[in-house]
């Protein structure tokens, strides 16, 4: 059987919050009926901060994620926090807090449950953790976990058990004499016969858990002789089924470690995501994705072919690494302000029209970030501090959201089937027939040249927009014309510090002016599409484009692609 926790004596320090002493915090909390803040010391846990404290004389800690998931979800280890921690590491990476208090020697007695109530209240008050939690019993910790779940089923989001003990008669009786004595003392049994006759084991208390429909998943080993599956998990499963409930099983057929009680933890990712599916918490109880036609075909491709093709729609946010996941609406300061005012940003409205029309899944991170800021979970400045491109904190927020969306989409995925493409268009003026024209078809006048390998003299650019063919002019008065068939025309530019105000004329009409400079052009020749003509009568048209000196030192134009539709 696993050894007891090795946590020893813990030093405490004073906490200072906004100039208020720890003693004053205790007094204020006591007067308000809220648990007083406990003093903590800091330690390291697999690269994360562990805040260590003592509660009711028992060592305890909370592992804090670098970026908390929405609503501060958490998992409560009831025993052996350093054994089989792989699932916990996956969860803390995805924004879950981890709580632990060392009560293993009390073996789930009523006194232990009373201290667990204090621990629950402490973490809810001091760390602002979610009302519902995931329980994670390991071995003898099953006694604590299941008896607590039966006492407070309304607090439990799910249970993930690692070979949990479900009956004192199976363990420790007849196997661990010291722990039998611990049970006798903790429960107040006067004899082993009284322990054997006890009707308050986890196996006896499954009805409130089944009635609450608490999702359960256990990892077990078939040849476990310490906590035999037949007497514990499998018996619990049989009784749950009689109550109209069930549990998921992860079965290791055989292990030679510790009489089958220890083994390499299987399906770590799946077990972590079992917890995440059932214990996630959203502000206002809503999610920010719409699955629509779902992702069954995507899931089928990934499962069977082990790879798939993903297209990215967007600008720098999809060009840069780390953001190429699904169709999503990224947060930016301007859009958050619009949500705060009760308005939906225009780009999101337009993209949602197309997504609804074609049944595409979308994830509205902008709306989520706005809601979480309103809920006080973080601020735009503290969490992002950028107009568009997020730092590590924002990246973790986005990644957590994508994982929730993918979990939901794949959990709901049915059989793959062909997606019918609607015969009607979202917008009758759609660029569905859009294409690149040929640069060499341009009729060049004075000042314009077709360079075969253009690159900017200074300032950066992006792959595909440097060392490529381009129509280039550097001075005012340069001109080229182009004849095309269609109803729309545009240019895809490398818009840099020197990009001019151009003017254009369609079929001899008066010239119109467009400034090709962008807010980001000072240090970057940005890939920048501009539509010059739209809604023309279908047919053959000729456009004339000229550079101007209207912007003084900005007199250049770099045309990488010609756009026709």
Per-domain residue ranges for the chain?
Answer: 39-279, 294-411, 435-564
Could you list the beta-strand ranges (E) of 248-311. Answer: 248-252, 289-290
User: For position 393, what pLDDT does the model report?
Assistant: 81
What pLDDT, on a 0 to 100 scale, did the predictor assign at position 445? Answer: 97
3-state secondary structure 253-270: CCCCEHHHCECCCCCHHH
Report how far residue 55's alpha carbon sits from residue 35's, in angstroms, rounded to the nearest whole number: 11
H, E, C per residue of 449-502: EEEEEECCCCCECCCCCCCEEEEEECCCCCEEEEEEEECCEEEEEEECCCECEE
SS3 398: helix
CA atoms within 13 A on the CB side of 495: 19
Neighbour tally for 315: CB within 10 Å: 14
Question: Are 113 and 151 a contacting pair, CB within 8 Å?
Answer: yes
pLDDT of residue 335: 83
pLDDT of amino acid 316: 61
CB 11 within 8 A of CB 19: no
Contacts 24+ apart (CB under 8 A), 506-515: 506/532, 506/533, 506/536, 506/541, 506/542, 506/543, 507/541, 507/542, 507/543, 511/546, 513/548, 513/550, 515/551
Q: In sequence order, what DSSP letters do the residues of 516-553 get, joined into one string?
A: ---TTTTSB-EEEEEEEE-SPPSEEEEEEEEE-STBTT
What pLDDT is stored for residue 232 in this prediction?
A: 97
Residue with tokens 């119109």: 512
For residues 3 and 347, what is the distance between their CA atoms, to the nearest angstrom? 58
Task: Report how far residue 142's alpha carbon sits from residue 263's, in angstroms, rounded to the nearest whole number.
Answer: 18
Mark the ranges of the chain whose per-residue pLDDT is less than 70. 1-32, 283-285, 312-328, 330, 385-389
* pLDDT of 283: 64
Region of 259 on the Ramachandran plot (φ > 0 left; ψ -120 to 50 alpha; else beta): left
Give the bridge partners for 465, in sequence order. none
Length of the chain: 565
345 half-sphere exposure, CB direction, 13 A CA radius: 20
| Rg, Å, the chain Cα set | 32
Q: In this predicted structure, what is the pLDDT of residue 10?
A: 26
Give dist(CA 100, CA 119) in Å, integer: 9
Q: Among 93, 73, 182, 180, which Cα is nearest to 396's? A: 93
* 39-279 and 435-564 in the same fold: no
pLDDT at position 4 is 34
Residue 435 β-bridge partners: 564
Dihedrals φ, ψ of 298, to 5°?
-60, -50
Q: Are 205 and 168 in contact (CB under 8 A)?
A: no
Tell me the two tokens of residue 97. Answer: 């807090």
Q: What pLDDT is recorded for position 14? A: 26
Structure tokens at 530: 């501009």
Q: How far apart are CA 41 and CA 67, in angstroms?
A: 20
Neighbours of 288 (CB within 10 A): 23
Which CATH number fits the domain 435-564, given the four candidates 3.30.420.10, 2.60.120.260, 3.40.50.10210, 2.60.40.10?
A: 2.60.120.260
Report, in this order, helix, strand and coil percent for the chain, each rounded to 5.
30, 25, 45
Query: CA-to-CA distance for 51 and 61, rounded, in angstroms?
Result: 5
DSSP 420: P
Q: Where are the alpha helices (DSSP H) in 106-176?
A: 110-126, 141-151
The pLDDT assigned to 213 comes to 98
* Angle CA 26–29–32, to nearest 5: 150
Closest CA to 290 of 346, 234, 352, 375: 352
Contacts made by residues 372-379, CB under 8 angstroms, sequence distance 24+ = 372/70, 372/283, 372/397, 373/336, 374/283, 374/340, 375/283, 375/284, 377/68, 377/70, 377/71, 377/72, 377/283
Residue 105 has phi, psi (to 5 degrees) of -75, -15
- For 39-279, which CATH superfamily applies? Alpha/Beta hydrolase fold, catalytic domain (3.40.50.1820)
Neighbours of 190 (CB within 10 A): 8
Residue 525, CA distances (Å) to 492, 550, 556 in order = 12, 20, 12
Spatial separation of the C-alpha atoms in residues 374 and 523, rounded to whole Å: 35
Query: Is there a cis peptide before residue 172, judged by omega within 30 degrees of 0?
Result: yes
């Amino acid at each position: 059987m696993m050894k007891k926790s090795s946590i020893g004596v813990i030093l405490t320090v004073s906490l200072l919050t906004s100039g208020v002493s720890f003693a004053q915090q205790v007094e204020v909390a006591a007067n308000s009926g809220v648990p007083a803040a406990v003093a903590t010391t800091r330690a390291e846990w697999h690269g994360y901060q562990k805040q260590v404290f003592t509660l009711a004389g028992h060592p305890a800690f909370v592992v804090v994620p670098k970026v908390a998931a929405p609503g501060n979800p958490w998992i409560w280890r009831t025993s052996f926090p350093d054994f089989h921690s792989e699932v916990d590491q996956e969860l803390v990476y995805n924004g879950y807090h981890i709580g632990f208090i060392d009560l293993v020697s009390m073996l789930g007695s009523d006194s232990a449950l009373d201290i667990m109530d204090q621990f629950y209240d402490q973490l809810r008050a001091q760390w602002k953790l979610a009302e519902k939690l995931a329980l994670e019993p390991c071995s003898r910790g099953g006694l604590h976990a299941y008896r607590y779940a039966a006492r407070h089923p309304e607090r439990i989001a799910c249970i993930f058990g690692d070979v949990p003990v479900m009956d004192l008669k199976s363990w420790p009786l007849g196997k661990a004499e010291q722990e039998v004595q611990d049970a006798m003392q903790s429960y107040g049994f006067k004899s082993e016969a009284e322990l054997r006759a006890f009707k308050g084991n986890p196996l006896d208390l499954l009805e409130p858990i089944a009635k609450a429909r608490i999702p359960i998943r256990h990892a077990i080993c078939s040849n476990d002789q310490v906590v035999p599956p037949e007497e514990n998990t499998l018996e619990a499963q049989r009784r749950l089924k009689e109550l109209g409930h069930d549990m998921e099983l992860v079965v290791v057929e055989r292990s030679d470690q510790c009489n089958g009680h220890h083994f390499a933890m299987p399906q770590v990712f799946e077990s972590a995501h079992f917890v995440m599916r059932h214990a996630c918490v959203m502000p206002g109880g809503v999610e920010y994705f719409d699955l629509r036609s779902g992702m069954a075909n995507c899931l089928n491709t990934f499962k069977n072919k082990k790879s798939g093709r993903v297209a990215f729609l967007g600008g720098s946010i999809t060009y840069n690494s780390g953001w190429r996941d699904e169709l999503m609406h990224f947060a930016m300061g301007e859009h958050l302000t619009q949500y705060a005012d009760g308005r939906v940003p225009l780009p999101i409205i337009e993209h949602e029209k197309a997504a609804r029309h074609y049944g595409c899944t979308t994830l509205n991170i902008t709306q989520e970030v706005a809601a979480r800021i309103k809920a006080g979970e973080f601020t735009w400045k503290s969490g992002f501090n950028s107009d568009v491109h997020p730092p590590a904190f924002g990246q973790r927020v986005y990644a957590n959201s994508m994982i929730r969306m993918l979990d939901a989409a794949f959990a709901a995925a049915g059989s793959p089937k062909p997606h019918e493409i609607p015969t009607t268009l979202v917008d009758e003026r759609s660029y569905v027939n859009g294409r690149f024209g040929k640069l060499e078809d341009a009729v060049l006048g004075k000042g314009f040249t077709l360079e075969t390998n253009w690159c900017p003299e200074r300032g950066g650019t992006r792959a595909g927009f440097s060392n490529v063919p381009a129509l280039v002019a550097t001075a005012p008065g340069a001109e080229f014309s182009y004849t095309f068939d269609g109803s729309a025309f545009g240019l895809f530019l490398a818009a840099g510090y020197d990009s001019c105000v151009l003017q254009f004329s369609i079929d001899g009409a008066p010239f119109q002016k467009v400034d090709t400079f962008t807010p980001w052009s000072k240090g970057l020749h940005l890939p920048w599409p501009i539509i010059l003509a739209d809604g023309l009568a279908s047919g053959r048209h000729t456009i004339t484009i000229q550079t101007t000196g209207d912007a003084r030192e900005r007199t250049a134009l770099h045309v990488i692609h010609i756009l026709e539709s």
